[in-house]
Structure 1
Amino acid sequence: MISEEKLKGDLGEQAVNTLAFDTYLKYWCYPGPKDEKGSRKEICDLLILFRDTMIILSVKNYGFKGNYHRYFRSTLDKAVSQIAGAERRLADSSRELFIRHADLGEMKFDFAKYKKIYRIIVNHNTAPLFYPGGRLTSTGKYVHIFNWDAFLCVVKELDTIPDFIQYLTERELIFKDKKITIMNGTEEVWDSDVQRSFYDYNTAQLDSGPNFLLISGTENDLLADYLWHDRKFNKHFYDTTYNGGSFQLDDKWQKYLSQKEVQRKKSADFASYFVDEFLKNEVLYKQDSTNLELAVELLSLSRFERRIVGSQFLSMLTQYKHLDKDNIVRRYGKTGDLVIAFVLYSRDIPREMMVLLSQIAAEGYAYWNRYQDKKIAIIGFSQDAIGFVFGLLNVEPFSAEREEITRLNLNDLKWFTNFETFMVNHKEYPDER
């Protein structure tokens, strides 16, 4: 017979694996990281490392049975302490720390590399009807608190690392200096015992000082408020002229999803998943260092930025589906700090030639633009949307010899002789046509 503790542990591990392997986070996840050359004791439930960002995540599987005092004073306090302990171990510079990634193998961990750190507790089991939005560690560092279903909704809705991080940043900005209580459920489930626990908890909150927020609604409703206010929360959340406030956000998530503007946004976002599928099926199919460098650049694009990239890819396929033999079409675009060089070629051109021409297309742009942009992602494909070639050019000024070779190649191909530039305006929430 499986013990209750074993069952809880298995469910917690399943939750971690869902995040680590079934979402976009999987490329940068370290489930249950251990000191590979030390104690091999687990540091935390899940560590996410992407560029200069680190997320320390604890999944708690406490079987909540209505005992709010125990939940607040035992489970949450313990989880906050564990998060703080994990961060201390990661920050310890007295000895080298090595952790292992499922696909990439062992790596040396460098705490100084991570300028942004987010701390998250996720309650995987039955959700309490009210809970704090976050807690502070003993050193004043903020820890987000989520319920599992709501957290998974946030991860799936904000399904790029930039979008997810932006939400955590804004949530911490609002919640860190306030005592936040999130209230879930309908009036029918708030029986006298829940009401009494709620009264006792919030009386203690008020007695400990000002700046409190009572939010009626789920984390999903809070997410809807954030999205609907252009990725900021309700302006009153930021107001520091009052000691506290109560906000009713119930059903805001469903109302958000029902808006025609949101439905048009989700329809427009279809184009963005070209980037996700391209990464999954082409770039990360082989996880060498070059491919991973390109993957990091493309994964750093938000969902909206990926939509812009994907829409250009689909536009080229539509416009040049009847491309004549031996023809090549180039299109360059810039989003953030990254230039995307699209190279579409007719189906008769050999792949080896396409690799060379795609390289010339990227190097030619760098030379023509006098090295102003530092990274160029190359995506070449046939008019049938197959035969992808790709790479990443880290731009530095060419030597005189390389410049001359590039100039001669461009002259032979007659590229950049009549280069047209134009601006394309995209709205995250498109207007009705």
Structure 2
Amino acid sequence: MRFRKSEGLTESEAILAGLCERSFLALYTYPNLFKQLVDLMVVFRSDILLFSDKSCAYPDTGDPLLDWRRWFARAIGKSAHQVRQAERWLRSQPGMIFLDPAASAPLPIGLPPPASVKVHRICFATGAADRCRRETGQPMLGIDLTVTDAEAPLRVGIVSEAGGFLHVFDAEVLELVLTELDTISDFVAYLDAKAALAAGGQFKGAPTEADLLAYYLHHGRTFPAATGDFVLKHNLWRQVAAQPAFIEGRRLNREHRTWDRLIEYITRQFLAGQLEFGNELTMDDYERVVRIMAGESRFYR
């Protein structure tokens, strides 16, 4: 093999790695980097996705605000700090990123030039689903851009420690988003649109990330221009997911993953040096070829 990488050291890290490899492909997905730089990094073209995984039990002291503040600090706050530090290292030491603790296996594909790098900060925080279900009837955190840090229980808004917009997903939400947006192009387009929506100032919140995703999908994978401040209604996801056209689209997406399987099969053969032709290619040359295929959205695939 040309290189080896971690598959995730904990259960949540393994789940995260599995979800990301399924959507972004193995060649672009790297868990557990050197010095625990970040729990998982995805590199594609000029986009770098930094995932910080924090699996924390939710406290139950009888004080809802105290419980939330403690969980937020351990899960989202520490995650934001890790991502921020990773981004600093990435921008200042782009040649010092390794797959192993001994720093003997460098990242096998080249990073984009520093001036063109676009970093997406992502927190994968688990442990709050049961409390969310008990308090709101939904196993997901709410989105509330009127709050900062741990001001309001079970609602995530601006996370000051992140140094920029932080996308916060739990296991159920991330699996849902990566089921509907299961290519790197589709997922990054959603992250960009969501960050731009938040920066616009008129979007104030949604009951869950699933409802925000439904709003995005229902409007042709865009967020329509707003005429004033707005908050999304409850149960948008259930309404959109029940539409016949949506159900048919899901079926077609599941049945048309041939391109994904082809990319992964050829990549495995290349890494093992077992191609009939092309084993002499460098990693960078091979990645440039695969990038053309991997960059297509699900619709075009």
- TM normalised by structure 2 equals 0.71
Q: Distance in 1 between matches of 2:38 and 2:119?
A: 14
Q: Distance in 2 between matches of 1:271 and 1:212?
A: 35
Q: Distance in 2 between matches of 1:17 and 1:62?
A: 18
1:56 partnered with 2:50: yes
User: For residue 115 of structure 1, what is the aligned residue in structure 2?
Assistant: 117
User: For residue 159 of structure 2, what is the aligned residue in structure 1?
Assistant: 135
Instruction: Mark the runs of 5 or more structure 2 residues left unpaired by the alignment.
Output: 1-8, 133-153, 272-278
Q: Distance in 1 between matches of 2:48 and 2:112?
A: 9
1:256 partnered with 2:235: no
Instruction: Mark the runs of 5 or more structure 1 residues left unpaired by the alignment.
Output: 1-8, 35-40, 179-210, 307-433
Taking structure 1 as reference, are residues 156 and 134 closer, same or farther at Cα in structure 2, changes over 3 Å only? farther
Determine which of 135, 143, 146 is the counterpart of 2:169. 146
User: For residue 106 of structure 2, what is the aligned residue in structure 1?
Assistant: 106
Q: Contact 1:19 / 1:26 at 8 angstroms: preserved in 2?
A: no
Q: Distance in 1 between matches of 2:288 and 2:99?
A: 19
Q: Distance in 2 between matches of 1:62 and 1:88?
A: 25
Q: Distance in 2 between matches of 1:300 and 1:138?
A: 28
Give the 5 Å matches for 1:8-407.
Answer: 10-34=10-34, 41-65=35-59, 66=64, 67-93=67-93, 96-100=95-99, 106-107=106-107, 110=111, 112-113=113-114, 114-127=116-129, 129=132, 130-137=154-161, 139=163, 141-176=164-199, 178=201, 213-216=204-207, 218-233=208-223, 235-236=225-226, 239=227, 241-242=228-229, 245-250=230-235, 252-269=236-253, 272-282=256-266, 284-287=268-271, 288=279, 289=281, 291-306=286-301
* Amino acid in the other structure paired with 1:46: L
Q: Say which SS state the counterpart of residue 41 (structure 2) adopts.
A: strand
Q: Distance in 1 between matches of 2:225 and 2:269?
A: 44
Q: Contact 2:57 / 2:71 at 8 angstroms: preserved in 1?
A: no
Identity %: 23
Output one character per residue of 1:260-297: Cα deviation in whole Å (capped at 9) or x when no partner: 22233234446642212222334543245455433211
Structure ID, larger Rg: 1
Q: Contact 1:11 / 1:61 at 8 angstroms: preserved in 2?
A: no
Q: Distance in 2 between matches of 1:92 and 1:246?
A: 39
- TM normalised by structure 1 equals 0.51
Answer 1 or 2: higher relative contact order, Cα 8 Å, separation at least 6: 2
Output one character per residue of 1:68-120: Cα deviation in whole Å (capped at 9) or x when no partner: 12234554222212211111111124x8414238xxx5337646355221000
Q: Distance in 2 between matches of 1:281 and 1:17?
A: 18
The offset of 1:177, in angstroms, is 5.6
